[in-house]
Structure 1
């Protein structure tokens, strides 16, 4: 629109200039034409006077010159009057008549001033404007007037007029072509520059503007644009790299991170937080209240309080997650004046460990106190009662020995469990014959099984050499078999077997790997386990039948679980109350035949 106004104004000024020039030219041409007409009138008058002097027939001479002008297409008015006013000759008037021409302005001025006179006025006879030149011929007794159209010299006027018109048209056309060419040449780089600026708005910084145009200022502007675009591209790349680094850094955090605004709405959440709280909506596209994420009014209120105070805050709380209720320690930090960052430190393991330590100390204390109390009681009874018979003393000493053995087993199991938890080396791994180990365990447990009239059977799965800690594998077998015997009935059965299967894990599938899966199975047809007991049977100090006399320390199956973990293994328990139990141990280790 502005370009159109500019063109219209430019053309208007040009037309105005051409019009003014044409007017001046036409005015000069008119004056030239009038001068030329006057020259014709004066020359005609002089010629007529010369004809009179030559005693030529004056009226005939006047008629001849009039006819000559008519052939040229120029009307000529000739009036010859006597000083008395009688017409000697005049176009359309008979000679000798009284025409009252003295009343015409040019004759009046001629008579009054006595000098040749010029008058331009309309002729009723020719119905056009004429230039009248009146001259005195008083010494001969005549007045002579010659009238010619004011455009008698119109050939020059017409020529000038057409010349001006043609030149004006040529100038207008040339100007239009020049302006069109100029605007076209100007428009192309401007359109290109406009497109480059629009691409810059879209974030496309690599497209450069053409600096080789016909306009120096546009070239400078395009060069400045290119430098600006390059600088912005460099800056953007730097910002994108920084953003990528921060995103990778934030997403790699093992702890959830959430950012909220002053209204308590989530504006950023890292990948870990999405996984923990199972909300995968991108808050940059649609924000949502913090409460919808963590379902805690306490934390939401604390966030707003931190924003108001501007001070860091640390709180401990429980929050609902995808894995259930977890213990968290929250660090709430304000930044940028109207936002707050919340780091969620999952301390569930720490809380559980602390709870476990407390329970462990309590259980150990209880397990140690019980036999010690019994032993102390027997000692006090013997010491305070000197009349006790020899038989009673022997009985008390036997009971004290049982409790001492119980303490010994408890301390041995605690030391064994501690040693397993701290073990992180494979230095004690050697190949050994599994069948030979099974026979050794059978011989060691045969007496215990015979005392309860329980049949202990060991079945070979093939002659295999396995690479492991022999004592640890033996401990697994002893604990499982001891547990199967302890919770069995008279005339029951305990069956021990094993088999080797391919290792289907990633490590086992690697080329050249000799690792396989060893499955050890200990099954009994004893009293079995209730469903509630099956859930907790691998916990430390947990015994399914707490009232059972002569029970173990409650650490046997926990020891088995920890040893299995050393071999990336698993424990599977299948049991029904009153029908017996089957423990299947899967160990991943190197096996050869």
Structure 2
């Protein structure tokens, strides 16, 4: 509390000091402005008097004019003790009381001359390099009967007197502030001490209450705000002492059950406030109990449908069970059971909510259903073709040998397609279930890619497609060779299948993340083609099972729709990533990044 007393004293001193400082600064500034404005008015009057008592249309050579106006300027300075300057309309200095006009610059663009030309009178304050003091300049234009400017009259004077006055004010202000700070320090300390002494006692009592000593009480003080605070602490201590036994009993009864439940438990009282949450409920809802306890259920940042379900249970006071999708903190499917709570002495006292996370169950059911539906659809097409052509042959097409051979070839093609589809489904199933062993070994990439390209070279030559690769001679990677070849064959086959005749399919390898020794930690494999490309709307889904961008083209080329899905899973088994970039009509580029060492 000593620190608090010191802070309070310092705050009072600072407040008083700042008030005086601001007032002093304001006063000094007002004084300076007032004095300066008075000087300007006097200088303007002097300029008008000088302008009215002198002849400005004098003629003669420039030397004669300079001599005349210089003598006039010196005479006027002796009378006014101010520097006087005569300036011709074009800015040429004809006379000056302090300097030789022939050595002075043209004054046409001087700020005070420019202001006089545009506003009738001009003022400017600037530092004099000659006198080493701030000078105030004032100038007016000299006009003939036709209001044509003949020249300018300028006078200047030192602001040293004004600055001396301001310095005196500052010294007085500093002295007064020092004395005031001393007085304010003494008064502030006594005020702070009178406030903090009872607060120190209350703080000690509050600390004892924190340590569960509820018998501690604050001594009686006056009936002011501090005394009322002491009485409030005493009442709080009495209330806590009475309630603690009850609270401890409830905690012992609830903690053992609530902490270990897998289901989320949430309780809302008759005032529609959240009074209880177990750890599972915090995990499921994505909010800690500190964020939600004590808040009304419709103010607790919960999903709107969930709040509506609670409202319905409160209004009907009947059990409700529903299944709901939550999107925060992640997408979950929840089974929610709401039951009204009733005690013997009350009809209704709140709602008990039990939440089960059934996301995994529903996702598994949906995946199984989608997989069965997709497989059924994919199997139905070749089976229907085989059945249809077989029935046609049995109906008499066997007698036409050419037609029969054509139909039998179609049946054979569809059977092979069916066999590939079943093989891909089994392969994907094994990959997704992580049942396939990964045999990592060093692979020399130039030789590996050359073999992969040679497998597909005949297929590419049929369409006059150019296959090429770009890889350095000393590139190695640790991978499962069979699975890596499966990745490359799938991507190259797609590139050949969806590239028009005369196109190009290219493989490029780039080292990544080179260390200080020149060794690289990752490799980037890029498979690109100049084919038809993939529309942007289809790019996010091309790695899904059975998803085809061009369904008719895919089936005619013998694709099963599982190739890219298998590729993605195999890349992930190698701890790598795959992404795709494509433009319709230009081509597609698949980029795979893999670690060099596993």
**1:300 aligned to which of 307, 310, 318:** 310
**2:569 aligned to which of 558, 562, 567:** 562
Change (3 A) 1:303 1:571: farther
* Structure 1 match to 2:549: 544
Note the alpha carbon deviations across 1:69-94, whole angstroms, 9 max, x for none: xxxxxxxxxxxxxxxxxxxxxxxxxx
RMSD between aligned residues:
4.2
The separation in 1 between residues aligned to 2:335 and 2:596, in whole angstroms, is: 40
Residue 485 of structure 2 is aligned to residue 480 of structure 1:
no
Note the alpha carbon deviations across 1:156-207, whole angstroms, 9 max, x for none: xxxxxxxxxxxxxxxxxxxxxxxxxxxxxxxxxxxxx999876442335599
Are the counterparts in 2 of residues 295 and 320 from structure 1 also a CA contact under 8 Å? no
Are the counterparts in 2 of residues 264 and 303 from structure 1 also a CA contact under 8 Å? no
Residue 267 of structure 2 is aligned to residue 264 of structure 1:
no
**1:321 aligned to which of 298, 313, 328:** 328
If you compute each CA radius of gyration, which structure gives the higher value, 1 or 2?
1
* Structure 2 match to 1:492: 503
Are the counterparts in 2 of residues 259 and 269 from structure 1 also a CA contact under 8 Å? yes
The separation in 1 between residues aligned to 2:542 and 2:505, in whole angstroms, is: 19
Residue 431 of structure 2 is aligned to residue 420 of structure 1:
yes
Are the counterparts in 2 of residues 260 and 266 from structure 1 also a CA contact under 8 Å? yes
* Structure 2 match to 1:330: 336
Are the counterparts in 2 of residues 260 and 290 from structure 1 also a CA contact under 8 Å? no
> Displacement of 1:485 after TM fit?
1.2
Are the counterparts in 1 of residues 265 and 278 from structure 2 also a CA contact under 8 Å? yes
The separation in 2 between residues aligned to 1:396 and 1:201, in whole angstroms, is: 94
> Displacement of 1:552 after TM fit?
0.3
Change (3 A) 1:440 1:342: farther
The number of equivalent residue pairs is 358
Change (3 A) 1:494 1:268: farther
> Displacement of 1:477 after TM fit?
0.6
The separation in 2 between residues aligned to 1:282 and 1:379, in whole angstroms, is: 69
* Structure 2 match to 1:130: none
* Structure 2 match to 1:390: 401
> Displacement of 1:589 after TM fit?
5.0
The separation in 2 between residues aligned to 1:441 and 1:568, in whole angstroms, is: 22
Note the alpha carbon deviations across 1:12-43, whole angstroms, 9 max, x for none: xxxxxxxxxxxxxxxxxxxxxxxxxxxxxxxx
What runs of 5+ residues in structure 1 fail to find an aligned partner? 1-192, 209-231, 505-513
* Structure 1 match to 2:538: 533
Change (3 A) 1:195 1:543: closer
Are the counterparts in 1 of residues 525 and 592 from structure 2 also a CA contact under 8 Å? yes
* Structure 1 match to 2:369: 358
Are the counterparts in 1 of residues 417 and 558 from structure 2 also a CA contact under 8 Å? no
* Structure 2 match to 1:283: 292
TM-score (norm 1): 0.52
Are the counterparts in 1 of residues 264 and 354 from structure 2 also a CA contact under 8 Å? yes
**1:571 aligned to which of 578, 590, 598:** 578
The separation in 1 between residues aligned to 2:532 and 2:410, in whole angstroms, is: 28
**2:593 aligned to which of 559, 564, 586:** 586
Are the counterparts in 2 of residues 256 and 276 from structure 1 also a CA contact under 8 Å? yes
The separation in 1 between residues aligned to 2:354 and 2:494, in whole angstroms, is: 46
Residue 531 of structure 2 is aligned to residue 523 of structure 1:
no
> Displacement of 1:421 after TM fit?
1.2
What runs of 5+ residues in structure 2 fail to find an aligned partner? 1-200, 217-240, 344-348
The separation in 2 between residues aligned to 1:254 and 1:518, in whole angstroms, is: 44
The separation in 2 between residues aligned to 1:298 and 1:532, in whole angstroms, is: 36
The separation in 2 between residues aligned to 1:377 and 1:426, in whole angstroms, is: 41
TM-score (norm 2): 0.52
